[in-house]
Amino acid sequence: MVNNSSTIRVLRARDQRTPDWLRSLCVYRPSATYRSSELTTLALAVAHREDDVRTVRCLIVGPSDTPYEFGFFEFKAKFGDAYPVQPPSVRCLTTNGGRCRFNPNIYATGKVCLSILGTWRGEEGEQWSTAQGIESVLISIQSLMSSNPYENEPGFEHIKVTAKEAEAYAQKVGTHSFTCTHAQIAICDPLFGLSMESQETTSSLGEGTERDGFYDADYLLQVRHETLRITVLQRLETLLEIADDDHITTAADLSTPPADYDDDGVKEYDPSADGYTESDPDALFHPFADLYKRRFLWYYDAYLKSIDDASAKIKDGTAFVGTPFEYGTNDMRGKFAYASLKTRFLRVYEALEAEKDSWATEGKAAFIKEHGTAMNLNHQFDSLRNHYSRSNGPSVELSLVDGNPFVWTLTFFGPSETDLYGATINVRLHFPFKFPDQQPRVTVLTPLFHHRISSTTKALCYFPTKLFSVQNHIESIMAAIVEENPSYDPRALVNPAASVLRWGDEAGKKLYRRKLRRSVQDAMENCDEF
């Protein structure tokens, strides 16, 4: 596997080893001891090497309901001596080796055009100020990843189209998965954002009408395809050392030169850009590797749904359409290849399952040798089993699979007066050898129609607050499953079929509860030994 031994320090305001200038940009999470700081509410994360606190690696998970949905976009922020008077320099590392421009404001070179970074013109009040920090920068970049990134391009609202293009566009928008509500139309749809009179005038235009281009519908589909291919698949295949032997989904020919560097541009997985050689132990610095793997299992159903929705409308082999703002090699080129993407997603999923099984094997051997992690997990198991056996709260049972402290089974019962009443819920926790630096993978063995449980991987989406505490994991797991009135959380849309009902209208919510109760009944009737 890829070497990921680089030390990452928690970015905490109270860390006395952290320089004053860095404390101002850190996100403080007092309960976290994980070695990277996750701004989980915003689907952001930051980390740095122990020997270089001025260079911060940043992760943005693509927002839901956008073509960037649940993609993994890495950035590198450098904080100079003039910080916080001057902003950090920020570069995108997710560029397919300098060959993919993911946004009008995010170049293939890695350059990020943003007014607060001083790399893009802005109105008064939009420039950098000392009150801002890494969080505000990442939120600003995340805002570029909108439902229609094409609108980031200046002059977007003045695009004119022919009647033929308008008809083709309407058909395409009506079928692809990124649709807009009526309230959003004026913002993200240049055609329907016009008045009715203007629409009629536009529709009557002749085919020879001069225009800047009308490419946003194509662009959305292309961004989604490359988000799946580059930010998710390529990244996981690299971490798991899976070769894409057929190269069917290569967006650009491997001989295509990358975009020219500008300033201190860097490219994805290019250790020389960071001043390292291939033999350097920090050459491959992947601070978010474990996070990627767990999120992949969360969002697997959403990824496949995107592929199924698009592949029904777009023929594999269809070439990407260029846009007016792309030039030279600063573009997104390639062809749609959804069949291959689906095969590769399955291959990554199988590799992650195999990795999880290897933890059990390695863990059992470590327990026999009385390794520290094994003994710690075994001690926590004994303590928690005694705690829950004496507790007056809900009945909770814990057991080890084959006496292995790295594989736990959690069993609890659905509370009365809830849709889960009567259910015996079994949950499996696989702990990695590097716990708590790496987190457990949690799957729900009881088949439930639940918005927090992936229908394919059975991975549970939950958010512990004390990553080192198994008890906190257990209580967070139970809370995520039994909570009756959860708040909407775009990070937790792991089961598309259940989520669209759970967060839909009243009829949808009633149908969701009915399906959940039915799954509970089916589980009771087909109770298996887990």
| Cβ contacts of 496 within 8 Å, gap of 6 or more | 301, 302, 305
Strands of 265-388 (E only): list them.
Answer: none
| Cβ contacts of 176 within 8 Å, gap of 6 or more | 217, 220, 221, 309, 310, 313
Q: Is 180 assigned a catalytic role?
A: no
DSSP 247-258: -TT-SS-TTSPP
419: left (phi over 0), alpha (psi -120 to 50) or beta: alpha
User: Which two structure tokens, joined as six digits, stand for 484?
Assistant: 């009756």
Q: How many CA atoms lie within 13 A of 299 on its CB side?
A: 24
Determine the Cα–Cα distance for residues 236 and 303; give it in Å rounded to an integer.
14
Q: How many residues belong to the chain?
A: 530
- Eight-state DSSP code of residue 27: P
Question: Which of 100, 113, 188, 527 does the annotation list as catalytic?
Answer: 113
- Report the chain's terminal Cα–Cα distance, integer Å: 31
What is the CA angle 461-467-471, rounded to 5? Answer: 85
What is the CA angle 351-460-243, rounded to 5? Answer: 15
User: Which two structure tokens, joined as six digits, stand for 179?
Assistant: 């649709």
Q: Which residues are catalytic?
A: 113
